Amino acid sequence: MTAETVTRADLINKLTENNNFTRQQAAEILKKTLEEIEKALAKGEHVKISSFGTFSILQKKERIGRNPRTGKDAKISPRRVLSFRASPVFKKSVVREVPLEKKED
């Protein structure tokens, strides 16, 4: 299964295709959108985009984990992690549009 990566440039190109945006305007729109999402998350706010999903920061507690290589217990420090939860509408459209490929044994 070969997965292609959609880059920032690809998104900018898509914004300019059927709109009256220049590449520079599209790049600025994308940049400002991502900056606002980043600022909100940095303040601990949730970012909910209807029919897409919700970004949030989760606070993980300190816990004991296991080093998979050695099998020894290891302390995992408390930390903040970024979480994304896709909306049901988004999940349904992605699953319908992209069928899963079967793994070859």
Decide: pTM greater than 0.85: no
Question: Average of pLDDT values for 81-85?
Answer: 95
Q: Which residue has the tokens 């939860």?
A: 85
- Topology (CATH) of 46-99: HU Protein; Chain A (4.10.520)
The secondary element (H helix, E strand) that includes residue 64 is strand 63-66
Mean pLDDT (the chain, rounded): 89
Question: Average of pLDDT values for 59-64?
Answer: 94
Whole-number pLDDT of residue 41: 95
Tell me: pLDDT of 6 over 60.
yes
Span(s) in the chain for CATH 4.10.520.10: 46-99
Residue 47's beta-bridge partner residues? 55
Q: How far is CA 39 from the centre of its chain?
A: 15
**CA 45 – CA 56 distance, rounded (Å):** 7
